[in-house]
Amino acid sequence: MAQEGRDEKGRYIKGHGPINKDIARDYQKKSAEARKDNRIVADALRRALLRPDKATGNPVIDGIVERVVERLNQGGGTSDLRTMADVLGELEQKVSVEGDMNFTFKFGDE
């Protein structure tokens, strides 16, 4: 026996699904705006990290990485580096294996 709004196989009949198209469209628009904002922040962060350090002349990221490595050697964590990598979208590593096979490894909480 079919339920109301479903066919005999239990599938939703067109127009009776659980998804309101207007709400879905709004969420999609908000998601696109958030991705754009994240790209803007990531670009600004990249520029700031690649800017030369006034004291050494090396890129700022070099000094930050050196300090994180020093903290690691003293038993510290990698939360700063992980946060930056996450913002930059660099927590993902793509590995190409002989042939057409491509794998994507995502590090972190999932």
35 located within any domain: yes
Question: Mean pLDDT across the stretch 58-81?
Answer: 79
6 touches 16 (CB < 8 A): yes
pTM greater than 0.75: no
Quick one: tokens of 81? 């580096």
Sign of CA dihedral 50, 84, 106, 77: positive
Q: Could you tell me if residue 51 is inside a domain?
A: yes
Residue 64, domain member (yes or no):
yes
Total domains in the fold of the chain: 1
Residue 9 lies in a domain: no
Provide, rounded to the nearest whole percent, the portion of the chain with pLDDT above 70: 70
pLDDT at 59 (0 to 100): 93
pLDDT band at 107, cuts 50/70/90?
A: low
Domain around 92: 21-106
Domain contains 15: no
- Domain contains 12: no
- The whole-number pLDDT of residue 93 equals 61
Residue 1 within a domain: no
